[in-house]
Structure 1
Amino acid sequence: MKKTLQFILVSLLAFILIACNIQTVEQFEQMQEQERSVDSPAPVEKQEPAPQSEEEPSPQNEELATQHETEEIGQQEVGTKQEIETKQEIEKQQEIIKPTTPKSEQQKVDTKPTANTATTPTEKPKQQETEQQQKPVPQKRTVTIAIRVDTLLKHWDMLDPALQSEQYVPKDGIILKQTTYELLSEKDTVWDVLKRATKEHKIQMEYQGANENIYSSVYVEGINHLYEFSAGELSGWMYQVNGVYPNYGCSQYVLKDGDVIEWNYTVDLGRDLGHYWDGN
């Protein structure tokens, strides 16, 4: 009888140890599966109660059965605590693994302009305006030009009778009053300005090209229908710049800023105008 009881106790203890080991292995495998799939933790399998002995209950067997049940309840409580701790660890891992938005990205999102946000002008236009203001504005280079026939008023009788009219010789002797023109290039000449003035004011002019005479310069033959020899053999057109009559053609005289040009009709090779030409 004692041997039988000892055998039963040893068998029960061995069974309990085996069950505990099996349960521990299953729990370890469950924890590994839960760590692998954090988002979907695997359900914990319910523990099945250990099979009871088919022998008739005896006081000793009942005590052993009670002890066994108590141990199983304790194991279930331990298993339940372990499951709870495992769930808590899984939840902590999920919180750690849960992606968070970096602060830099949050700032980018927060500072992203909306449709109603008014954009402020950049500093570049201001800098460009400042640079433009600082750059010196190139000043215009200008000259003045006038066309006069005052000498014909004094020598009216020398003028061709067909031209003795205010249409050709105004009463004040001014065909073109002093007019300002801008120099368009560094090479503008007296001839360039005369062409612009007569064209703009619709004043008749006739000339000889630089390649048509021995002087290699443009020669003005007539202005406002008053030609050379219209008032005698020594009559014709002359020009002065700043009060001086140059001894070369108008297409050779390069102008500078502020020059004053005046075209005058002469009846005595310039002597009636105060100029004495030496013929060179």
Structure 2
Amino acid sequence: MGRKKGNGPERRDRKRRDVGEERRGPAAFDRFYSELLGDRWNTLRPCLRDSGRPVALEAGLLRPYYLDDASVTAAQALGVQGGDTVLDMCAAPGGKTLVLATAAGPGGTVVANERSAARRARLIRVLDEHLPPDIRERVTVTGHDARRWGLHERERYDRVLLDAPCSSEAHVLGSQQHLDRWSPARTRQLAVQAHAMLAAAVDAVKPEGYVLYSTCAVSPLENDGVIERLLKRRSGVVAVCRAQAPWGEPTVHGWEIMPDRAEGRGPIFFALLRRAPFVKASHS
């Protein structure tokens, strides 16, 4: 009896390709976020295309730097004070670093880290063009892997900012190429990476110091989900401090500013953590 047409490896390969196509691209993107956010996705999605409300950072700078109002608010939530030692773990393009450096003043120090050479070059230009010399000389730029920071510097900084690489759905929606390549694996992988970076940030901060975790992601997996995982794995080492802003709304562990409810500001999520006194953080 002849073999039935369409069976065998070719059919299985075609089926796998069809399933793969269903799990990536614009339709999969909308389906995924509709399942995560429900009806709100219908109002949030169009706002993401035109999100961001730039304001001019001017105080203490040589020239204005334009940054989304929500990003300024997130950086200020770390509460940097004059004389603090500060680590900005993923600093490029540099807007939040300017907020931290001017707050720390001539008496403080800032380490601005960016692993990507191209983005690090842009970061250096932003710092050189905007910071007065007496503050710029107190800002050091490095190019380390943020996930491994706690292995070589532990309990050194008063305050740490982790503005983690994230899904940046607003950017995805603005790029057909990125939208066509999108799949749910993206947000899950980025959440795993962000947790590793956040654990390193906790290792790097001093006892009773503060860590601010932020993203421009909409996906809860990369926001509250990362904080939830850290709290489980570092129980007793860190605690959530309730941060808030003039715009936006609270989440389970932090605060989010989304453009559909904040007059175009955002998207930004941030959560403020405090390291417990005299507790040694274990690796995870």
TM-score scaled by length of structure 2:
0.23
Greater share of residues in strand = 2
Q: Highest Rg: 1 or 2? A: 1
